[in-house]
Amino acid sequence: LRIVGDITSTGTIEVLGDVEGTLSAHGLVIGGEGRVSGQVSAETVEVKGKLDGRVDSQSFTLRAAAQVAADVTYSTLIIESGAQIEGRFAKSKV
């Protein structure tokens, strides 16, 4: 499944396909086969697949298979061994 556009949810979204655009939700899980390109705003973000773009989150978790090329703002950060990261990470000032 490929979605191009903006997605907004008050719950948690699990991406197993390809999403390109702005994604705003309470929680976001990118599955192992999932890919998100664009701007993400969510309280909790867990990445097992690919993420490209910009992220604003409270809790940001990168699993071992994650491939991330993004500028990330976070309060809590977890990075498992094996995750591939490129970009800037900034701790939220709040």
Rounded Cα–Cα distance for residues 33 and 55 (Å): 19
Q: What is the pLDDT of residues 31-47, one digit of tens each?
A: 999 999 999 999 999 99
Candidates 21, 15, 18, 12; CA nearest to 39 is 21
pTM > 0.85: yes or no:
yes
Tell me, what's the pLDDT at 93? 80
- Which residues of the chain are under the pLDDT cut of 50? none
